[in-house]
Structure 1
Amino acid sequence: MKKLMSLVIAAASLMVILSGCGKPTLTVSNHHLSANALAVTLKGKSNQKQVDYTVNGGTKQTVKTNSGAFVISVPTKNYQQTVKLSTDGKHQTVTVAKANVIGSYQKMRTTYNQGLTGAALPKKDQQLAQSMAKQGAQLKKEAAELKAGKATSMAAMQAKAQKATALQKQAAELKQTQAKLAPAMKKAKASVKDQLLPANPKDGIHNLIDTNKMTLRVNKSGDKVLGIAMMVPVNNLKHKKDLKPFIMSFSILTNSVGANAKHVLNKFQKAAKAKKSSSTTAPKFHSNGLLFSLGYSTSTLYVFITK
């Protein structure tokens, strides 16, 4: 009888244990995630085969679990997002902080494409283009000052008219010089056509430039740039002939988002030396309100830009 009772108790205990194993579970590693360069990684655990989730009440999506764990990638936006997860009656909610806007995509595109095209010009034409840019900026400044100035006397009005005539003449001469440089600019643009930023890319996370030397990935919403990732094969950084195009593209990209290219490159070189000395920390540095973060893998260098 005692043996029978022992078996009954053991069987009952086993059933309790087994019923506990079958009870659905759902947990997340963090209920509040900070915005990242392109997307945040939401990690969780569940003993179910899959977990359903929605972002800001959108279409239901599903992620499968692997050994009781799951990972969801949520692209960052310029507003806070709420991720609701559920599986077999269990629920969790995670908030994703908004990303700060780096700047205007069209402004970045114009500056980047002009810089890259200019760098592809022969050296003498580069100097001419730089001189023309300075001259054009000066003419624009002087024209604005002339328009804002008030002439009250006859002599002042005559001087203003003479100045306006002189500016018109300089503008006409500048236009003629630009026309002479146009064929060289066209040729330079054609030589870097696969490296130029597109006019109207889709919203979200997309590769805007994808060559064997560099990949440029951007997270954008409308005209707002929310995050940038530049990926370069490590092999392209080992030789000077391959390193030069990277430095040029990186400098132009840095300038196009409003950062100080010289300052950033200086910090970048120091970070690269630290990496060679087996530093394990991911280097980060700031310039004009922007954050540059470096990441490494065995094959790729990652540069993330956020604000």
Structure 2
Amino acid sequence: MNRAHQLRFGDMFALAVFLAVADHKSFRSAAIALEVTPSAVSHSVKALERQLGVRLLNRTTRSMALTVAGAHFATQLRPALASIEEAVRVVGDLGDTPSGTIRINASEGAIQIVLRPILASFLQKYPQVQLDIVNDGRLSDVIDEGFDAGIRLKEAVPKDMIAVQVSDDIRFLAVASPAYFATYGKPTAPRNLLDHECIRFRFDSGSIYRWEFEREGKKEAIDVKGRLTLTDQKLMVEAATDGIGIAFVPDHLTYDGLKSGRLQTVLEEWCPAYPGLCLYYSGHRHVSSALLALISTIRRS
């Protein structure tokens, strides 16, 4: 019998390891994802190659690449393993108690607003459920990257996903310190921001956010200028509080500063509320009882 037909059920781990290496292009990254040692990953792949009788990876001290056979094997293996994982999830869901791991992809802001308030109560109520939450501001494809669900603004949810709104509407506000406005004046229209020192926001993708305003159906997107660019909205608020410039951030981050008088708003009539955060997932995959329990917990909070 051909050696490729002699794979045992215990070799499922080796197949999963190989696919992780193929996806991450790194033994170390695959090991981190699988929560095993790089040595275990290397030994597993070598054993699989011996069993199949074909080289799957070309390795050097500095790089790793799939062979032609390895690339073909990964392409064939990926949907097969996904089907097996789906079958395991479905069978596990037949139990009376929600169980298993839920992988969630969300930005830091979404995690703070939606997940943090319910984590303790949810994990206490469902002791057989594990949450794997990844802080990601890149708007990743949750299906391709193996997540059960994502959380992002409703307007950014892919059209083919099922979306459940899990937060109030969100409004962005332009804020700065009283000292800044006393020195440089207040802009009276979005285009006036081009004459001000603005604190810019950079997405994880590397692009700079253009400030978006709307009034009576008229929309304006301003590519503001400024010497300070950040990837953390909380730091933007702190920088604005310190008088560095004007920040454009979600309103929930400005409450304390506005209440204390350390921040002031401008252009409020240009800052309408938008549909809030949605938890979204594929309608083409089985939705586990654990994920449904999480959604229910969030919506009751």
Task: Report the TM range for the smaller structure's normalisation.
Answer: under 0.3
Greater C-alpha radius of gyration: 1
The structure with more strand, counted as a fraction of residues? 1
